[in-house]
Amino acid sequence: MPEEQCVSLTDVTFAFGKSAPVLAVSKLSIATEEKVFVYGPSGSGKSTLLGLVAGVLVPEQGSVDVLGSNLATLSATRRDRLRADRLGVIFQQFNLVPYLDLIENVLLPCRFSPARARRVAGSAQERAVKARDMLVRLGLEHEVSSGQVASELSTGQQQRVAAARALIGAPSLIIADEPTSALDTEARSIFIETLLGEADKAAVLFVSHDMSLAAHFDRQISMVEINKAKSTAAAKTHAPERELRSV
């Protein structure tokens, strides 16, 4: 595994408005192509961490280096551009734009990033073919052939389309926010394996409270341990914390 840093957080604090900080991380780094599993109970700052790494949130202090740029000093436009060009994001659910078809959903990042579009293919037709191939690899051949729209898919199928969208155009970092929480156990394993199989050239930052998934990853990080902010919900409720640590 290469040693270069893909993500590096140093002395980062973040607060919503004027309230007390919800996140305080002194050091967190993810190497290129490293698959990292971040776990912690609700309210422990997992989503905030992802927002910072994705460049949607900006830290009050500290630096968030992602793929060689300090997001804290980049303009909003540059952060959006970096995200469009080099990141893939998967949510817990409701990942798709309901009125676009599956291929349009997968190619959505290419609409906001010419560089990413070029990485996929030179022409719009070729890109559509690539997107279709990806969906077929993820087991959605029937759905894409019958021209279904996003809202007609099951949750598991929607998550696979979301994975295809995150993976299209070979991003360097994939951020996933509990993408399996709405799936049953079997679909969950298939999803993780498919995602990690397709993302072998990317770093993955995967957030979940489901410890049964931890074994799929190179490294496991406890949110409660790295987040020193006093005001987090996790800091006040110790029971789930202990349970997770025992894994």
Strands 203-208 and 173-177: parallel
Smallest separation (angstroms) from other proteins to the CB of 151? 9
- What order do you get walking across the sheet with 173-177 strand by strand? 87-90, 173-177, 203-208, 35-39, 219-222
Report the candidate in 20, 22, 70 with the shortest Cα–Cα distance to residue 46: 22
For other proteins, the binding residue among 7, 64, 67, 113 (CB under 8 A) is 113
Backbone angles phi and psi of 109, in degrees to 5: -60, -30
16 or 68: CB nearest other proteins: 16
**How many Cβ atoms are within 10 Å of 203's Cβ, its own excluded?**
25
Nearest distance, CB of residue 181 and other proteins, angstroms: 12
Residue 111 interacting with other proteins (CB under 8 A): yes
Q: How distant is the alpha carbon of residue 42 from its chain centre?
A: 17
- Residue 187 found at the interface with other proteins (CB under 8 A): no
Which residue among 10, 15, 32, 56 contacts other proteins (CB under 8 A)? Answer: 56
| Residue 112 within binding range of other proteins, rule CB under 8 A | yes
To other proteins, the closest distance from the beta carbon of 85 in angstroms equals: 7
Helix axes 155-167, 185-198, angle to 10 degrees: 10
Say if strands 87-90 and 173-177 run parallel, antiparallel, or are unpaired.
Answer: parallel
Residue with Cβ nearer other proteins (113 or 157)? 113
Shortest Å, Cβ 99 to other proteins: 3
152 binds other proteins (CB under 8 A): no
Q: Reduce the DSSP state of residue 169 to 3 states and report it.
A: coil
Looking at beta carbons only, is 60 or 94 nearer to other proteins? Answer: 94
- Taking the C-alpha atoms of residue 206 and residue 236, their distance in angstroms, rounded to an integer, is 24
Single out the residue of 27, 94, 133, 210 in contact with other proteins (rule: CB under 8 A): 94
Q: Which is nearer to other proteins, 53 or 221 (CB)?
A: 53
Q: Is the Cβ of residue 13 or residue 189 nearer to other proteins in the bound state? A: 13
CB of 112 to other proteins, least distance (A): 4
User: With b meaning 16 or more CB within 10 Å and e meaning fewer, what string describes 150-173?
Assistant: beebeebbbbbbbbbbbbbbebbb
CA pair distance 25, 65, nearest whole angstrom: 13
- Choose which of 6, 34, 72, 91 interacts with other proteins (CB under 8 A): 91
- Answer for which of 28, 33, 47, 157 binds other proteins (CB under 8 A) is 47
Question: Could you tell me whether strands 5-14 and 23-31 are parallel, antiparallel, or unpaired per DSSP bridges?
Answer: antiparallel
Do you know the residue count of the chain? 247
Among 85, 143, 198, 241, binds other proteins (CB under 8 A): 85
From the list 89, 134, 173, 199, which residue makes contact with other proteins (rule: CB under 8 A)? 89
- The site for other proteins (CB under 8 A) is made up of 47-48, 50-51, 54, 56-57, 76-77, 80-81, 83-85, 87, 89, 91-92, 94-100, 108-109, 111-113, 165, 175, 177
